[in-house]
Every structure is written in structure tokens, then in C-alpha cells.
Amino acid sequence: MTSTNGRVGGVQKEVDYQKFGPALLIASSLVLAIRTARWPATHSDGLADVDWQNEIEHSARVAKVMLTHLTSRFPGLFLAKDVPWYEANDDGVPR
């Protein structure tokens, strides 16, 4: 719950998850490139190759799991933002 007119009790550092889009894209692309580096070069008119689609989905899952693990264990590796927390009054409502 955020309030702009309450008394700020302090700030807490949290990982800035809005910056994760490019990181997830780069990580999943690297996983995909490494896993498919030895595949023979082929050309198709569409992207309907089932093996290719499955490999893309698997690479994205691996990258997401990796980033989730790193943010939970080592949050200092990533950009952080200050998130204010507010003092509550006697009713438990932020002032």
C-alpha cells in the first residue's frame, strides 16, 4: 500500500524488476544459441519447426529460472530502487 501524504518511516532497497525485460531476452538468447550451436543450418519458409519452438520455450524457461534464483540469492548483483515504507497510525493505516 503506498501513500503520498503519509510519513515515510524509511526506505527499503528492492530489485528493480522493470529492468528485467532486456536481461531475460539476452539470457534466453544466449541459452538458445549455446544449445543449438551444433544444429545443422537449415532454411524453412516458416517457423513451424516443432523442435525449434520447443527449444525456444525451454531456453526462456531456463533463463527465467536462472534470473529468479540469482535475484533471490544475490539481489546486490542487480539494479535496485528505493521503495518507501510508511508509518502506521493506531488504526493500522499509513499516516
Residue ranges per structural domain of the chain: 10-37+48-86
| DSSP-derived secondary structure letter, 7 | P
Q: What is the pLDDT of residues 35-50, one digit of tens each?
A: 888 877 776 665 557 7
Candidate from 30-34, 48-52, 67-71, 79-83 with smallest mean pLDDT:
48-52
Asked if the model's pLDDT at residue 31 lies above 70, the reply is yes
Is the predicted pLDDT of residue 84 greater than 90, yes or no? no
10: left (phi over 0), alpha (psi -120 to 50) or beta: left
The pLDDT-based confidence of 61 (bands split at 50, 70, 90) is: very high
Task: Give pLDDT, residue 57.
Answer: 92
Q: What is the rounded distance in angstroms from the CA atom of residue 39 to the CA atom of residue 36?
A: 5
The model's pTM is 0.63
pLDDT at 3: 46
